[in-house]
Structure 1
Amino acid sequence: MGIDASARIHPSAVIEEGARIGAGCVIGAFAVIGPRVVLHEGVEVKSHAIVTGDTEIGEGTVIFPFANIGDIPQDLKFRGEETRLIVGKRNRIREGVTMNTGTEGGGGVTRVGDDCLFMTGTHVGHDAQVGNRVIMANHAALAGHCVIDDEVIIGGLSGIHQWVRVGRGAIIGAVTMVTNDVIPYGLVQGPRGHLDGLNLVGLKRRGVPRSDITALRAAYQALAQGEGAFQERAQRLADDTDSDYVRDIVEFILGDSDRSFLTPS
């Protein structure tokens, strides 16, 4: 596609040969766009930002100054193999954000969904898989291979350990280290993160029916106090619920993972 004639590019920006710039894109002063970058329609890269590597940026995404998007992984096992970063539509990637491409051992692709907000200084590590409508507050970080489902909120200065999964709609408090999987709709807080209930505020804000919230409360209690191992309690829930939200939790717990879970107190 080359550079669309409708793109607005500041004279001081560096667009390396081979880059593909879509219709209506805006490239600010001193920005750098690498030779294998694809910017879809309406992407804005503000001054001094860098987009490099084999990187694709979806429609309407805005990248703010001094962000570095698509550079190589921070992984000593990386040997220069061809890997990618794919960023979806309408994301807001604020100042100083870093997002790395994948690694051969992790599937080769770091992926970010649509309508996310990455606040100042956040980091998305190699091979991470980030869903839609995710919010990462200032200086939060995802290590390599993390899986962050839709509508997760991660508080400022928090860190998610490599390979950890965070289920849909969960919220991680500020200044929290998360080392194990977090169930959908869970609330995690404390310096060494622990599961401290459900994200009830988020559920109510999204208009989740009261009947489902009641079912989630009961499911949480069953996971906390039921007999048997954690997975056994989840399996019993699977056989005794008609709530799609509870099923989200059950499927998450019974799914494949390389880590254990943060469990209810």
Structure 2
Amino acid sequence: MEQVKGLLIDLDGTLYHGKNMIDGADALIGKLREKNIPYLFVTNNSSRTPEQVAAHLIGMGIPASPEEVCTSSLAAASYIAHESPGAKVAILGEEGLRQALKDAGLEVTEEQPHYVVQGIDRSFSYSSLAKAVQWIQGGAISVLTNPDLLLPSDTGLTPGAGSLGAAIEAASGVKPVVIGKPSSILMKYATDRLGLSPAETVVVGDNMRTDIAAGANAGCRTVLVMTGITTSENMESHMTAAGVRPDYICQDLSEAADLLCTE
């Protein structure tokens, strides 16, 4: 690999599983810091603020700061603020999304919004669905933070933002602007924050259909780690489904550290 100028690193399935750090995650981040290789933690999770994400990582023993966190909520807020500074937005989501939109100078409202921004929303209801559909049919632009259909939890898989978005899309008849992986919008936001071009950036992740596809869509190099969703048994089928192949494959994070941190 040519000398790495910057990394975009996935979180769940790549550095941890739920509340448990994956072996080598702390060492990988430690080596990147030691060698002054710029990186960002890039996640589709829209519910947490950067401070909450960093605290979650630190709690598992992985070095982190809020400034190193890049969420789909932050990218959604940046996208809307760039397209329509000061726009009125209606939110179907949680704290991370609400804070990001407010911090971007957008006006949160339920009266004739210009945008309907939806992420994971564990208080989602029929009333929420009805309001979203009415706003969108009234001309508001539909924005989906991330298309994940399912999320892991302590009790098994649960519906993700994409499942809620599917209901809104079916009822409104309008496809949303998708921000998170595999969309390149999140990746462009992240590379801009690093001050690098996609060609100078490497995406590290465990999921062919989100992490690796997003990296390829954005023009980044990609490293697949076999620490989560993708396994030796399903790798070929996942590559076929994603329509892309990673530039490099590492069996674990120790191998990834050797690849990415070599002078």
TM-score (norm 2): 0.24
Q: For the pair shown, which has the larger CA radius of gyration, 1 or 2? A: 1
| Structure with greater proportional helix content | 2
